[in-house]
Amino acid sequence: MENKTRNETSWGYRESIIVGVTLFLLGVVLQIVLGNSLELRLEWPFNMISFVIHIVFCTMSFVLFKSSKLIRWITRVPASMVAIVMVLLLTMLIGTVPQIPENEPSFVTLLGLNKITQTWYFLLLVFFFSTALLMVSIKRISLGIRSNLGFLANHLGLYIALNAGIFGSSDLIRYTMELKEGKISWVANDENNKAVVMPIAVVLEDFVMEEFAPKLALINQKGELIKEKGKNLILVKKGVKAQLENNYEVEVVDYIPDAVRFESMYRSVNQEGATPAVYVKVVNKSSGFKSEGWLASGSFLYDQQSLNLDQHQYLVLTKPEPKKFSSKIKVFTVDKEEYSAVVEVNKPFEVMGWKMYQLSYDDRFGKYSTTSTIELVKDPWLPVVYTGVFMMIAGAIYLFFIGNVKSKKND
């Protein structure tokens, strides 16, 4: 009797750790051998087929072999805990190592550390975690759905959200479309800059940008910022007084957000290409230096205006940084529908399953740009991911308010 009990419970944390580490090492070997030549992408309908096969395989395995040591192990806590920890460690690694493409061969690219979600070891460990999650859920279903409702909603929701996000990532479409004011555009470009005819056409009516005030800065002859003591880059405001590097004290006497130079001074105007300008007074009590004059950021029409402090230092007005920019657009669909919208960086407009985001603009012209680039994104698996998330939330609420005493007895 003792030998039978020992055999039934012999697969615990030690064996689970061995399985997890073995899968990781196997994935590393596959990544080194095949990672650079094989792209792990499953597109529709193969991703859905793989999803269904996994569910059917796990269900049949439990039904046919539920009394086997392997099935008993995968449906117990040790396997689940080790799988969770392994995936969590990879997630922490994703947040630590920059996930950006690198073309030059290196240790990082060899192991795929710059694209962990596309590596063999990530795939194997997520498969381990996903299988444990599904097998535990199937076991609870066999014990009674009603008595395990909260547990099932929570765990199956996580399974659906996780796998839909992974399997559906290959079906995610990202295009960019360059818009010019007053011109209709219906052709976008994919990641390889290949032209794609879209089922929607877009007209840019206006590009709008809000800017921060420019800053005063001290630079050297090479145009490099002088920052020995950190007393540089002072935000401009009329009447402000500040101390810059090397004991230079600056006072902003006048500030004009949009100005044009007339002879020796700047005046406020409302025209394209106008530049921010300030009139400043500069004093250096250590050296007795005094000077005053106009500074201008410059634009695509006008040069930057600086103030020479000595042979090695110049006072300049930096170009204003963008605070917020958006595009006012008009959208036409193949169904002859027409929409007016404003798209921003984090505020998309959605039509026909496509989300349109503000991406960039012609930075040579800044707020006077007549060109805007938007990103079009379509993710057909997103509703499935949301379904899984809502199931998790519903399960958590159920367990919190109602509880699931009977399910605990079945652990």
pLDDT in tens, 320-343: 999 999 999 999 999 889 999 999
Instruction: Please name which of 338, 358, 334 lies closest in space to residue 347, comparing C-alpha atoms.
Output: 358
Q: Please state the domain extents for the chain.
A: 11-170+381-406, 173-208+321-377, 213-318
- The neighbouring-strand residues paired with 173 are 378
Query: Model confidence at 406, in pLDDT bands (50, 70, 90)?
Result: very low
pLDDT in tens, 75-112: 999 999 999 999 999 989 988 888 777 667 778 888 88
Answer with the residue of higher pLDDT: 126 or 146: 126
How far, in Å, CA of 294 to CA of 77, rounded? 72
Answer with the residue of higher pLDDT: 201 or 225: 201
Give the total residue count for the chain. Answer: 411
Residue 289 CB: number of other CB atoms within 10 A? 14
| Model pLDDT, residue 403 | 57
Q: Write down the mean pLDDT value for the chain.
A: 88
How far, in Å, CA of 201 to CA of 336, rounded? 10
Place of tokens 């401009």: 236
Write phi, then psi, for 10 (nearest 5 degrees): -70, -25
Taking a C-beta distance cutoff of 8 angstroms, is the pair 87, 125 a contact? yes
